[in-house]
Amino acid sequence: MRVLSGLLAAVVLIACPSIAVADEATIKDSTDDVYGSVPEGFEQVEPVGTRVNTDLRKVVVSHRANAVVMKVRYVDLVAGESAFIKYEAYLNLPPGLDDIFVFVRVRPSLEKASVELFGTLGAFPCQGAKAAAEPAKDLVRVRVPRSCLENPEWIRVSGQSESRGKGERHFFDWGNTAGDYDAKNPQTGRLYAG
């Protein structure tokens, strides 16, 4: 009987391959850590506390078998309060592959969002890359097909949000880093494709 149950278990393992699980990481961010450009110049910033369409709560990154998915959760995502809203993710890829910037732009109305990818040679097309805002959840969802990234074994991610108020002032949240943001300093460990 034990032999029969052992054979049955082996048949089940062969007939039902294991399900791949995506590596996932959460970049948690403290609130009230937004910086704003000062009137004297865009390059100078000062702490401003919180700001709608800028202050991040967390970013969940999932490296799935066919796509990199990011869920960017804001403290407050409000239509009509900003001239523009942007989330910028930096994807650090294995040696031999170009690192990629993912620019997510959300319209002030929050009705539409777009995704652009940039490598060392500039912008490049990525069929299937998409983003959408869900204001009721203070969330922006982003999906980038792995084929656009040359199917990397792993990724590391950092990111920042940016918005511009109705005037000329820009606002920034550098994820879980304070002060000067360095995109090339990943905020996650290696996330392997699932």
Range from 3-17, 29-43, 84-98, 144-158 carrying the lowest mean pLDDT: 3-17
Task: Produce one character per residue of 63-72: b if its CB has 16 or more CB atoms within 10 Å, e if not.
Answer: bbeebbbbbb
The CB-side HSE value for 175 (13 A sphere, CA atoms) comes to 23
Average pLDDT over residues 19-43: 82
User: Which tokens is 146 given?
Assistant: 């792995």
Q: Which amino acid is at 41?
A: G
- Check whether 22 has a pLDDT greater than 90: no
pLDDT tens digits for 151-168?
A: 999 999 999 999 998 888
Domain ranges, ordered by start, for the chain: 20-177
Label residue 10 by pLDDT band (50, 70, 90): very low
Beta bridge mates, 113: 106
- Check whether 132 has a pLDDT greater than 70: yes
CA atoms 41, 108, 29, 183: torsion sign:
negative
User: Which tokens is 66 given?
Assistant: 């066919």
